[in-house]
Structure 1
Amino acid sequence: MSTPTRAPEDAALVLFSGGQDSATCLAWALARFGRVETLGFEYGQRHAVELDCREALRAGLRAQNPLWAERLGMDHTLALGALGDISETALTRTAEIAMAEGGLPNTFVPGRNIIFLTFAAALAARRGIRHIVTGVCETDYSGYPDCRDDTIKAVQVALNLGMDARYVLHTPLMWIDKAATWALAEELGGASLVSLINQESHTCYLGDRGTMHPWGHGCGECPACALRRTGWEEYIKGKANA
């Protein structure tokens, strides 16, 4: 299991949706920071069931490791309904998931990650936190421009200039694919952490929690399920060939 690499007084705020990526990022932060708080957003997403998964994941992480139990702090939820109100997307409306004009899937919510990070920084200022962790990824994703490394770096610069601060935005999944994300979970917490994330996290854009597949709950057809399924199968194949 991973050991702490930072001073215990350092604190982190993890953008925690209740999905596979953010759950892995939460474990990553718990292995490195002395105090870790979590932040979720309710913005009218169709898969709002993901927010309901967070407490089971937090409880499971506390049970995984006594040190993590000591470090895991408050959970926060912010209502950003206005984002959903202005977003005509398949994530915030009942619509068929498809590619939109310009080559982006219609699940793209314009400005979402930029807004999330801005609100996270505002909360971090009140909570005395300098490190902000988000699970965005440029390697294995749906093409969202606000998941790119350049975007996150630009947001960090803007936040630090605009708030006269020294925030550090951490993106531990930026350059790894979904199979490597499962492998990172195993590195951080062994098979028990992989099992926890597999069973309790939520990825499916349609909010399907009724069907349990080998890779987790989901409809099995939406782009998020497809990415998760492919990553799980590659992870299992890699373990078998090791």
Structure 2
Amino acid sequence: MTSQAKKAVIILSGGLDSTTCMGFARESGYELYPITFDYGQRHRIELTNARKVAEFYGVAERFKEIKLGFLREFGGSALTDDNIAVPKVDVQGEIEESEIPITYVPGRNLMFLSIATSYAEAVGAEAIYIGVNALDYSGYPDCRPEFIDKVQEVMALATKVGVEGKPITIETPLILLSKADIVREGTRMGVPYELTTSCYNGEEEACGECDSCRLRLKGFAEAGQTDPVPYKSR
């Protein structure tokens, strides 16, 4: 009798980090179940990129796009409120991490993980991959190890598989990697970075000036590589 293949849900934004998570999950032998979220984000181009990544990995038929447009109605973030400008980062300056930036979307990862948990339990997945990072990141509170640990505890209490002693695990393979190490690992695994987008402004060409672009460019530069996506400014 052949054993049933193990499954993992991947929270896939179409960006560098989440796409690298697809690579890690594939390398670990999981069947991939990607899920992305349309929350009215300014950079809606990432939804198209997420689908392209799912197609690259041959799992387009499992790709789920979940509508969460009410987050735009809530606002409170430069990513969901057109009246709040996406900040630019000085090319020569350091990425500022002392304050939580205006690009933080209230409750986003908490909601994403909750929905991904429901999807994982429904399809019999034993893991959820999310591309949070606690080193080269924008200072979001929902990217920290403490946050992941607490959500993991709640998932074990709130799910049927959890109370039966088979809890779904949250996998965070990038959480202690630098952006450069993420790029190196993704390149090693053949992750299709040319299909990804990270820019918060959501245009065909990345701006090269927002926090996300600067972090991404910093990672490629420190890894000794050239980012394959087009930029207006590098």
Same topology, TM > 0.5: yes
Matched residues in 2 for 1:171 and 1:226: separation? 22
Q: CA deviation at 1:8?
A: 6.4
Return the structure number with greater helix share: 1
Identity of aligned residues (%): 33
Partner Cα separation in structure 1 for residue 7 and residue 86 of structure 2: 38
Distance 1:23 1:123 in 2: 19
Letter in 1 for 2:184: A
Structure 1 alignment gaps of length 5 or more: 1-6, 63-68, 212-217, 238-242
Per-residue CA distance 1:2-44 (angstroms, 9 max, x = gap): xxxxx86211000001111111100110111341110000001
Residue 108 of structure 2 corresponds to 112
Length-normalised TM-score, structure 2: 0.83
One-letter amino acid matched to 1:178: K
- Residues 1:86 and 2:96 are matched in the alignment: no
Over 3 Å counting, the alpha-carbon distance change for 1:177 and 1:9 in structure 2 is same
Counterpart of 2:195 in structure 1: which amino acid?
E
Out of 13, 20, 36, the position equivalent to 2:9 is 13
Equivalence for 2:197: 202
Structure 1 segment 29-178 matched on structure 2, within 5 A: 29-62=25-58, 74-94=62-82, 95-98=84-87, 103-164=99-160, 165=162, 166-178=167-179
In 1, distance between residues paired with 2:54 and 2:119? 20
Q: Partners of 1:163 and 1:107 in 2: how far apart?
A: 31
1:26 aligned partner? 22
Which one-letter code corresponds to 1:17 in the other structure? S
Question: Does the residue aligned with 2:115 lie in a helix, a strand or coil?
Answer: helix
* Gap runs ≥5 in structure 2: 89-97, 226-234
Distance across 1 between alignment mates of 2:110 and 2:36: 14
String of CA shifts for 1:40-77, please: whole Å, max 9, x gaps. 00001000110101232233334xxxxxx7xx861111
Q: Which deviates the most, 72-81 or 42-51?
A: 72-81
Q: 1:8 to 1:138 in 2, by over 3 A?
A: farther
1:187 deviates by 2.2
Which amino acid in the other structure matches residue 184 of structure 1?
A: E
Q: Give the TM-score normalised by the residue count of structure 1.
A: 0.81
1:228 aligns with 2:216: yes
Aligned position for 1:66: none
Instruction: Report how far residue 176 of structure 1 moved.
Output: 0.6
Question: Does the CA-based 8 Å contact 2:156-2:168 persist in structure 1?
Answer: yes
TM-superposed deviation, 1:98 = 4.2
Counterpart AA for 1:202: T
Q: 1:61 & 1:234 partners in 2: Cα distance?
A: 27
Cα distance in 2, alignment partners of residues 142 and 78 from structure 1: 25
Matches of 2:87 and 2:109 in 1, distance apart?
21
- CA RMSD, Structure 1 to Structure 2 (Å): 2.0
